[in-house]
Amino acid sequence: MARYDLTAMSFLAAVVVIIPLPWHWRAKNIATLTTMAWLFILNLFRGINTILWADTVVVKVPVFCDIGVFFWTASYWGLPASAVCITRHLAGVTSPNFTPSGRDEKRRRFWFEMTMCVFMPFVYAGLHFINQGHRFDIMEEIGCQVTTYFSWGAVWLVYFPSILLSVIAAIYASIAMYWLMQRRAQFRELLAASQSGLTTSRYLRLMGLGLTEVIGGLGLNIYVLCTEIRLVGIQPWVSWEYVHWHFLAIHQFPKAIIVPELQVSNKGTSTIAPVAAYCFFLFFAFGEEAVSEYKKNWVWIKVHIFRKDPSTMVGSALPSFIAYVLLPRIATENYAIEHSFTENRREPSALLASMRCLLERRRLVVRNGSPSLRVAWKMTMTIVYLHLTLTSKLQNQPNFPVPHYLTHPPPLDFLSLLHHARRT
């Protein structure tokens, strides 16, 4: 019987786990980004597997299985390593010996996390070949599975590194919790002084994510290790040829020949990746950054799908995935426009051309929601200035004075901007 419940859980988990991607990408938090990437890959792979092998064990796409089991093996290192990096950073921020990170320190942290969370998982997956008895297994309803020749070599090279990383992450988490309790009275000021970009809410959510990865990863690895010892037992390492004999074989396991205890174990472990993705989503789906992003994207949906007039919306902002493309274009072209009308202030034709170009740019912005208030205000004031200057030229009147917001914009003060707009 096909497990379409697992299919739905896996694909839904793959979608929700990447929802917090924009604000984590802006924060450049490598550990959370790699956690997101590993969970997305695992759930996508599991969802496809449950469709391809719903009621069969026929070998269909062996290359897909080779790639999938390789990434699945790499995640045994990648996920606990991400937990180590998260809890290590949190422990460092709350430590009394912590000093604000300079450029060199940030670079060292970046490469440490890249090494631990991106490069080392593939080294670990490569070393797994030492204890890989054959290509892979196919189990009915679950699909491709990693295969390991369970010997003492596998215990030390496959299971021990994941358990060790989880223990290290648990130690860092304990240190972070200790310093948090010791310095909870001035915790907010401590985070502000650390220049880490962390708020109290973000710190606690990252701590919750780290603890969840530690508890879940450590418990799962110990459970799988004990299950293997009980069901299979530790096999002797005779020789390389013995372990890798008939390596290209693909073992197929219909549901009818799988022992009940292993069926129960497979049902439990196959839901670990979706549950982990849902936990990740819950930790970051309702924070301040998430709510702000939801509002931006809702404005974009109302403008583009429901065709609402953006001028009637208050506080609309540009969604992140549009801002990365649109705002650089606006900034580049605005510079050229302002330079043009500054150099040709006395020519009505040049003023008219600049105003038309800027109006077109502003229409582009309005069509995609509004960018930041500063950008929208500067574009509006530039258009107003061009219009009044053009009118004064055509009527042979003195130039309209250039608002100082166009040349040296001060820190944004909405009331002063509103006052200036009323005066003009």
pLDDT digits (tens, 9 = 90+) for 28-86: 889 999 999 999 999 999 999 999 998 889 988 999 999 999 999 999 999 999 999 99
CA distances (Å), origin 48, targets 43, 228, 423: 9, 26, 63
Residue 350 confidence (pLDDT)? 58
What is the layout of strands, in order, in the sheet containing 250-253? 143-145, 136-139, 250-253
Residue ranges of alpha helices (H) inside 1-61 are 4-16, 21-27, 30-52
Residue 238 confidence (pLDDT)? 87
Give the number of other CB atoms < 10 A from CB of residue 104: 8
Residue 309 confidence (pLDDT)? 59
* Mean of the per-residue pLDDT values of the chain: 76
Residue 270 confidence (pLDDT)? 87
Residue 348 confidence (pLDDT)? 55
Residue 351 confidence (pLDDT)? 55
Residue 185 confidence (pLDDT)? 64
Q: Give the confidence band of 106 by pLDDT, cuts at 50, 70, 90.
A: confident
Q: Give the confidence band of 3 by pLDDT, cuts at 50, 70, 90.
A: confident
Enumerate residues 6+ apart whose C-beta is below 8 A from 401: none
Q: Give the confidence band of 299 by pLDDT, cuts at 50, 70, 90.
A: confident
Q: Give the confidence band of 347 by pLDDT, cuts at 50, 70, 90.
A: low
Secondary-structure class of domain 4-286 per CATH: mainly alpha
Residue 391 confidence (pLDDT)? 55
Residue 99 confidence (pLDDT)? 67
Is 174's pLDDT higher than 80?
Answer: yes
Helix (H) / strand (E) containing 101: none
Residue 260 confidence (pLDDT)? 84
Residue 342 confidence (pLDDT)? 46
Q: What is the pLDDT of residues 197-217, one digit of tens each?
A: 677 777 788 888 888 888 888
**167 or 366, which is more confident?**
167
Contact 30, 110 (CB under 8 A): yes
DSSP assignments along 126-190, one per residue: HHGGGG--SSEEEETTTEEE-----SHHHIIIIIHHHHHHHHHHHHHHHHHHHHHHHTGGGHHHH
Specify the range with the lowest mean pLDDT, choosing from 193-197, 233-237, 385-389, 394-398.
394-398
Percentage of the chain with pLDDT > 90? 31
Mean pLDDT, range 137-141, rounded to an integer: 91
Mean pLDDT, range 126-147, rounded to an integer: 92
Residue 405 confidence (pLDDT)? 40
